[in-house]
Amino acid sequence: MENPLHLLMNPKSVATAGAGNNPEKMGTLQALSIIKDGYQGKFYPVHPTDGMVLGHKAYASALDLPEPPDLAMLVVPTKQVIPVLEDFGRIGTRRAIIITAGFKETGADGRSMEDRLNETADRYGIRFLGPNCMGMLNTQLSLNLTVANLTGKPGSLGMASQSGTYVTQTLAYLRKRGIRFSKAISVGNEANINIIDALEYLGEDEHTKAIILYIEGIRDGRRFIETARKITPHKPVLAQYVGGSGAGARAGMSHTGAMAGPDFLYDGIFKQAGVIRVHTIEDLYSHGWALAAQPPLRGRRVGVMTNSGGPGTAISHHADLGGLDVPRYSEELQSRIRPLIPGHASSANPVDLTFHLDMQLLSTQIPEMIMQSGEVDGVILHGAMATGFMREVYPHLRGLLNNIPEEQFLDRFRKDMTETVLLPRKYGLPLLVSSFFGDDDDYTKAYQDNDIPVFDSPEKAARAMASFLRHKEIRDRKTIIQTDLPERSDEAAQIIKKALEHRQHALDEFQAKKILSLYGIRVTRESLTMTADEAVQAARGIGYPVAVKACSWEVMHKTGKGLLALNLRTEKEVRRSLRSIRQAAGSSVPVLIQEMVSGIREFVAGMTRFEGFGPCILFGLGGVLTEALKDSVWRSAPLSVVDAQEMIQDIRARKLVGEFRGMPAVDTTALAGILQRVGFIALLHPEIAEIDLNPIIIAGSSPIVADALFVLG
């Protein structure tokens, strides 16, 4: 099925309902954008009273139009939206943009009205953006349906945003920084077309080389992951998510009715999907534009070229923090660079000209040597400047130069920058520039006009290059093959059914581990007992030392409550511990006799269901350190083998997984299998609300689940 945005973004005719001749009205401003910014298609204003709108014949109703327009844009009062949309539906219009607000973001009444809006659209086969959005841009058609001015040549950066501001009010901000959209889509309340549809469309769009997303909440997490995974190995996708805090979630709900989730979950979802996460709108635009405009990074080696030690050090430091290498150049390359620079300057990397004003040397000659060498995969350059700097020093020099006019003075420093701006394409390597001068400087303007990103600080340029590395890692990722769900275990289903019939809110540990073992997860050897004699007999069968635990669904957590005893080595200790545990429990609870597993390394796995994402899987550092260190990662189920393996390598304590202090490397295939199977269990048994496997003890190299909790919902 074709994405509905293909027609919506490429209409041959546009009608506006709500545009008039009052320049203070949003509809008028958006109609002016259509008329003034170069759109060559047909334009039909619909207005109930004005016969002419902005110099064009107007129609009192959509029913009076000479043909059904490909696209209708509605900027009318909220109560008029449904009848106006119905009129367009009657004449055969199949795409719309509803700018008007006042729907589900306002509460229950607005939500009901939005439902009726969707019913009307469904009846006529209309797909629409909005409501409560700010339109869209297609720069290839010079089609601007926002309120701001669109100028300049088409770009290569696509955007989908749950905030209209970031599609329209920022156009002047982006223009000043040389950033140009290919397409930009404001999705608003996503009542019909959502941000995942927009992502899919931009992934298919040949003019879009990188995609940026502003997100306040995702409603269909699995589709988001699956859609992004098809795109991200070939085209960078970056996202800013702002709904993860309490304040952010509240603002998003009142803004577009977004459904926010915890920040840690979105961290995992983005990694699972191959989406690069950034944390500011500035980075979203600038990193996205850099990835859209420059060749990809082939490796992690970066050359740094500068005319100042401070910026060179800052670039190197932040490149290192981002996982990039700033390698020392070979003696051969340094021997070619040294004759060109002052004797005290560094040729090693960074190459530091120490306030050398030969801009040809800084911007072209030495960077080309570095690119030719094969010793770097990208270059970050700081300090190329001409008219911007000279304009600053002109007031001091004017008297010494017989009061030469400023422009005549500046003309002395204007250079032919053709070779400079061709370097990235010539060598197929990304070039990022840092400068303290804006587009009033000839170098900055030349770079921007030729799609070479210019950052206003050295650190920002380095952090952007780190995003190139993130996309290289995504491109190099192992192929993800989704594993089919196993058959549902009838025995496991019966355990859960009986527990629910007995009004249990959770399974006891014995029941939970039985289900784990039914799905191939290795658990400790154990036996459920009711009497002291049974407990002693079980301990003999398992072999000392053993653990003794209270085993009741009503006892969900045992540590610190006197409900378990560890490392028991004699019959006497078992009997004494059983009495102590039952005294602490206040009843004759069943007791689990369990083998003691020897292992220092402990991990945790779990499952929680999140609205919009379904069951999500946790992996992290386990045992008593779980809550203290909070070293854990999340993914959405079902997990592929690659997903599970990446989770294991994604925790901060990943060194514990390899050979560590005389201990063998963990069997990560078995550990990943546990994570996969926890996801399978959650999907096959939706009655389970939460799973907590803590600790998973590494015995030698093998992971064994020593404790398990299943909460029923």
Could you read off the pLDDT of 600-623 as tens digits, one per residue? 999 999 999 999 999 999 999 998
**What amino acid is encoded at 704 in this protein?**
I
Lowest mean pLDDT among 127-141, 308-322, 620-634: 620-634
Say if residue 580 is in the same domain as residue 609. Answer: no
Predicted TM-score of the model (pTM) = 0.93
For residue range 335-388, what is the model confidence (pLDDT) as tens digits?
Answer: 999 999 988 888 999 999 887 778 899 999 999 999 999 999 999 999 999 888
Residue 256 pLDDT exceeds 70: no
Cβ atoms of 324 and 466 within 8 Å: the answer is: yes
Report whether 698 contacts 605 (CB < 8 A). no
Do both 642 and 613 map to the same domain? Answer: yes
Place of tokens 């303290």: 436
- 22 lies in the same domain as 60: yes
Residue 591 is encoded by which pair of tokens?
């007791």
Boundary-marking domain end, from 577, 596, 615: 596
CB contact set of 47 (below 8 Å; sequence gap of 6+):
17, 18, 19, 20, 53, 58, 59, 60
| Distance, CA of 213 to CA of 199 (rounded, Å) | 8
Question: Are 165 and 113 within one domain?
Answer: yes
User: Is residue 146 located within the same domain as residue 188?
Assistant: yes
**pLDDT confidence band for 672 (50 / 70 / 90):** very high
Same domain for 464 and 609, yes or no, is: no
Instruction: Please report whether residue 646 resides in a domain.
Output: yes
Residue 394: predicted pLDDT: 81
CATH assignment of the domain containing 149 = 3.40.50.261
- Note the pLDDT tens digit of each residue in 412-458: 888 888 999 999 999 999 999 999 999 999 999 999 999 999 999 99
Question: How far is 516 from 524, CA to CA, in rounded Å?
Answer: 11
Residue 223 lies in a domain: yes
Higher local confidence (pLDDT), 6 or 25: 6
**Alpha helix positions (H), 507-570:** 509-518, 532-542
Q: Please check whether residues 90 and 111 belong to one and the same domain.
A: yes
Give me the sheet containing 71-74, strands edge to edge: 42-46, 13-17, 71-74, 95-98, 127-129
Regarding whether 183 and 117 lie in a shared domain, the answer is yes
Mean per-residue pLDDT for 119-129? Answer: 98
Q: Are residues 395 and 469 in the same domain?
A: yes
Q: Which of 81-95, 183-197, 453-467, 579-593 has the lowest mean pLDDT?
A: 579-593
Question: Is residue 279 a contact partner of residue 142, using CB atoms and an 8 Å limit?
Answer: no
Angle at 338 between CA 332 and CA 341, to 5 degrees: 150
- In angstroms, what CA-CA distances link 271 with 227, 265, 299, 342, 363? 13, 10, 20, 46, 36
Radius of gyration of the chain (CA): 32
Phi-psi sector, 208: left (phi>0), alpha (psi -120 to 50), beta:
beta
For the chain, the domain total comes to 4
| Average pLDDT rounded to a whole number, residues 212-235 | 96
Does pLDDT of 260 surpass 70? no
CATH code for the domain in which residue 562 is found: 3.30.1490.20
Tell me 375's DSSP state: S
Shared-domain flag, residues 398 and 469: yes
Q: Is residue 511 included in any domain, yes or no? A: no
Q: Among the three residues 291, 313, 346, which one is the final residue of a domain in this structure?
A: 291
Task: Report residue 254's pLDDT band, with 50, 70 and 90 as the boundaries.
Answer: very low
**Domain contains 486:** no
Flag whether 626 is in a domain: yes
Q: How do beta strands 378-382 and 688-699 pair?
A: unpaired
Over residues 642-646, the mean pLDDT reads 97
Domain edge (last residue) among 596, 630, 656: 596
Q: Is residue 512 part of a domain?
A: no
Whether residue 560 is found in the same domain as residue 668: no
Task: Tell me whether residue 213 is in a domain.
Answer: yes
How would DSSP label each residue in 29-69? HHHHHHHHTT--SEEEEE-SS-SEETTEE-BSSGGG-SS--
Q: What is the domain extent for residue 654?
A: 602-712
The answer to whether residue 301 sits within a structural domain is yes
At 677, which CATH number?
3.30.470.20
The verdict on 187 and 317 lying in the same domain is: no
